[in-house]
Structure 1
Amino acid sequence: MFDRLSSLVIALTLIGIAAIFAALAGGDPLGIAMMLTAGVLAAATVYSALPPAAVEGSAAAQAPAEAPPVSFLRHPDFARWVDQEKDPLLGVADNIVAIANDAAIRLLGRHIVGADIRTAIRHPVAAEWLSRNDADAALETINLLDFPRPGQRWTMRVAALSNRERIVFLADRSALDAADRMRSDFVANASHELRTPLAAILGYVETLQDMNGEADAPTRHRFLSIIEREARRMQQLVIDLLSISRVEADRFRRPTTEVDLTAIVRHTIAQLQDSEAERPRDIVAVLDDAPLLMLGDAAQLGQLAHNIISNAMKYGRPRTPVTVELLREGARVRLSVSDEGDGIAPDHIPRLTERFYRVDEARSRSVGGTGLGLAIVKHIGERHQGQLDIASELGKGTRVSVTFPLVTGAQGENS
């Protein structure tokens, strides 16, 4: 197929050939004219033989073609950005998953690429919402309860693009929900623990008031002793609540003061032996003679040692040793306290550091426990880069240990 320019070239070529033949024929003017006329007619014949569609098609071929729609999901920069996202992210074109980052594949499976987004995210709320074509709905945050497992909660957001493409963002909110539940449980438990001794105090006070001085001395003394015990229990609970609040507020601030853990533990043992606590003489100290220096908060470390030792004194059998050991182990120091009590069943041990958790609630209340002692120990240990370990055997006793890193100077001096 020839266009107009090609036909013109052909015509001129034919005319030139006709002129050459005319010249070769002897230069007769009539012959030359006849040859030229033949050339012109030949060119006109060639041009007129071209179909109009061919001429128009040739012109259309020279016109610039309309550019196809640009796919944002297939841009290399988008792929790099997707790979850098820590939360699950999916690129969707016409409801088909075109791209998914590693987090999305770990959550939903590798088979999701190329699958329908409404079946890739297996949740009825997500499927119903993703079936919409409402662009304004992309501004919403959709809660996916019990996704991908019961008890978990994720959220989903969708960004609408052109060309029927969308980006789906998923975020795990399970930890936030757990923290909210923990705070709610903490408030509820603290309120309950405060109400119990307060109710006992008010009850016995009202009883004494109703007696109008008619109660005999032994009865009055017994009632007042109960009131004092419950008041001290409530006082200790308030102290522990304030302590755990302060420790949690400081948990991200590493201590920078150099302290001697040996001196702190010795001072704590002396305080317990001089106090009115039961079994003060049962404490057996096995301490390293050399100073053990670490970066720490002396008051908090003293409280940690006090809580561990007093727990062993409360729950160990009377007239059995409560052994307190403080020994250096390479670059760390270990504080361990052992008792010879009834021991703790293995299924209880992982929960001992939960706030207000008690193995035997009745016994814990009778010895004055608040259920916060080991929770405070855990938080103080974490702030000081400590590692807490609880080992127990039923009928034989329990051992609570915490190891801390020593400062560089202390390692060198004790080597």
Structure 2
Amino acid sequence: MAAPPGSVVAAIPMPALMIGADERIVAANQEALTLLGSAIEGRHFITAMRQPQTLDAVENAFRSGTPGEAVYLSNDGRQDTSFRVTARPVSEGGLSGVIVCFEDETHRAHAEQMRRDFVANVSHELKTPLTALIGFIDTLRGPARADAAARDRFLGIMESEANRMNRLVRDLLSLSRVEAEERVRPTERIDLVALIRETARSLQPLAQETGVEVTTELPAGTTDILGDTDQLRQVLVNLVENAVKYAGAGAVVRVSLTGPAYEPRVRGYGVRIRVTDTGPGIDPVHIPRLTERFYRIDTHRSRERGGTGLGLAIVKHIVNRHRGRLFVESTLGEGTEFTVVLPAG
């Protein structure tokens, strides 16, 4: 006895529907009803799937008896979605018509878009200093060949642009390594108190140069957690360096450590590292995007201070590797606080 069309499409683990020989939808699973509408059964397929590419794929399956493929675009209320549609003719066990399946490729399309954006951003970031270097080289070979003052000035700018490219390549390699290790939890036991004290001390010359005071509030004794020393040092350096560079002269940057205490966000006991500054603060519109690659609040100012736009993306991935959480709070005119919560065990 042949299975009814409804039971066939209900067993398919993606939006699927069966179109009968009369070109009307005879069955649709719950996923298809959610995607296309709850009242599509019994209607002609053209009224349910109005996108030309999808209709062509179904009509081709009916006309030629061969499978058809298309892309179906929709929106789930939060984001645009993309489906790969396959329309396959069936004629067996009493079933006759076309089965249409919708495979969700939204995440794949999103990943591909991220890859394209990443390549475009890297190309743009490298193109600017390379163009400058090529221009200065041409100038030094030509009009400024015998101009000592111009030569020294151009060489200084060339050094700055070369250092900028070097920082970008370094951060790209760092980001690649962090992403490759993100699913491997660290097993080294480290003392956060000593690490924070050492990092703050190493950044004192930068703080003095920019007129910013860096202070620490640390518990007595040691606070040990499982972690990667080099990566957590990188988190601290990025957060404190950013605070020092952007807080402005006369500001105070405070690095504190509290815990262990119960932290719901890590579902157990954890410690909190806070990097707080008394700078100008960040407009709330920027906060959700701060950890995106190459996202900058002020592109020109960031480049002037040697920023690559990758620092907070690296911080996010390192914190994720440690099964921690990163939070940002800021008030315009009052300052910004970055909080890293890490499991204590």
Give yes or no for TM over 0.5. yes
The 8 Å contact of residues 83 and 103 in structure 2, kept in 1 or not, is answered as yes
Alignment check: 8 A CA contact 1:73 1:98 kept: no
Pairing partner for 1:183 from 100, 107, 115: 115
Q: Provide Cα deviations, 1:91-120, integer angstroms capped at 9, x if missing partner.
A: 343334343333222222322234333323
User: What do the CA deviations read for 1:53-79 (whole angstroms, capped 9, x no partner)?
Assistant: xxxxxxxxxxxxxxxxx5433586x47
Tell me which residue corresponds to 2:265: none
Q: 3-state DSSP class of the match of 2:209?
A: coil
Separation in structure 2 between the aligned mates of residue 276 and residue 339 of structure 1, nearest angstrom: 12
SS at match of 2:193: helix
Question: What is residue 258 of structure 1 aligned with on the other side?
Answer: 189
2:104 counterpart residue number: 172
1:305 — aligned with what?
236
1:236-262 Cα shifts (integer Å, max 9, x gaps): 111001111111222222323333333
SS in 2 for 1:225: helix
What value does the CA root-mean-square deviation take over the aligned residues? 2.7
User: What is the rounded CA distance, in whole Å, between the counterparts of 1:264 and 1:212 in structure 2?
Assistant: 50
What is the aligned partner in structure 1 of residue 286 from structure 2? 348
Call closer, same or farther: CA 1:71–1:322 in 2, change over 3 Å.
Answer: same
Aligned equivalent of 2:33: 105
- CA distance 1:274–1:91, shift in 2 (3 Å): same
Establish whether residue 161 from structure 1 lines up as the match of residue 94 from structure 2. Answer: no
**For 1:392, what is the secondary structure of its paired residue?**
strand
Following superposition of structure 1 onto structure 2, how do residues 125-144 of structure 1 map, counting pairs within 5 Å?
125-132=53-60, 133-134=62-63, 136-138=65-67, 140-144=68-72
d(CA) in 1 for partners of 2:10, 2:72: 27
- Given the superposition, is the C-alpha separation of residues 309 and 295 from structure 1 closer, same or farther in structure 2, using an over 3 Å criterion? same
Q: 1:353 to 1:247 in 2, by over 3 A?
A: same
SS in 2 for 1:130: helix
Matches of 2:340 and 2:65, distance apart in 1: 55
The offset of 1:232, in angstroms, is 1.7
Cα contact 2:211–2:248 (8 A) shared by 1: no
Structure 1 227/79 Cα, relative in aligned 2: closer, same or farther at 3 Å?
Answer: closer
* Alpha-carbon spacing, 1:314–1:81, altered in 2? closer, same or farther (3 Å): same
- Maintained 8 Å contact 2:252/2:277: yes
2:136–2:158 Cα contact (<8 Å) kept: yes
Contact 1:73 1:79 (C-alpha < 8 Å) held by counterparts: no
* Corresponding residue for residue 296 of structure 1: 227
In structure 2, give the amino acid aligned to 1:169. Answer: C
Cα distance per residue 1:265-318 (max 9 Å; x no partner): 223222222569834862111123343333322211111111111111110011
Number of residue pairs the alignment of both structures matches: 331
Whether contact under 8 Å (2:193, 2:223) holds in the other structure is yes
Cα deviation, residue 147, structure 1: 6.5
Whichever structure has more helix as a proportion of its residues is 1
Task: Give CA-to-partner distance per residue, 1:9-49, whole Å, 9 cap, x none.
Answer: xxxxxxxxxxxxxxxxxxxxxxxxxxxxxxxxxxxxxxxxx
Change over 3 Å in CA distance of 1:287–1:100 after alignment to 2: farther
Q: 1:246 to 1:131 in 2, by over 3 A?
A: same
- Structure 1 position 81 matched with structure 2 position 11: yes
Whether contact under 8 Å (1:91, 1:100) holds in the other structure is yes
Q: 1:105 to 1:294 in 2, by over 3 A?
A: farther
Report what 1:320 is aligned to.
Answer: 251
More strand per residue: 2
Summarize the Cα distance change of 1:397–1:128 in structure 2 as closer, same or farther, 3 Å threshold.
same
State the SS of the aligned residue for 2:148: coil
Deviations for 1:215-254, whole angstroms, at most 9, x for unmatched residues?
A: 24xx554433323222222111110011111112222223
How much identity, in percent, do the aligned residues show?
Answer: 40
SS in 2 for 1:170: strand
Partner of 2:148: 215
User: Counterpart in 2 of 1:388?
Assistant: 326
1:107-122 alignment runs, 5 A limit: 107-122=35-50
Structure 1 position 339, deviation (Å): 1.6
Instruction: Tell whether the 8 Å contact from 1:278 to 1:313 is kept in structure 2 after alignment.
Output: no
SS at match of 2:202: helix
Q: Which stretch shifts more, 147-156 or 163-172?
A: 147-156
Q: Is contact 1:119-1:127 (8 Å) kept?
A: no
Q: Which runs of 5+ in 2 are unaligned?
A: 263-268
Amino acid in the other structure paired with 2:313: A
* Greater CA drift, 324-333 or 232-241: 324-333
In the alignment, structure 1 segments of 5+ residues that lack a partner are 1-69, 408-415
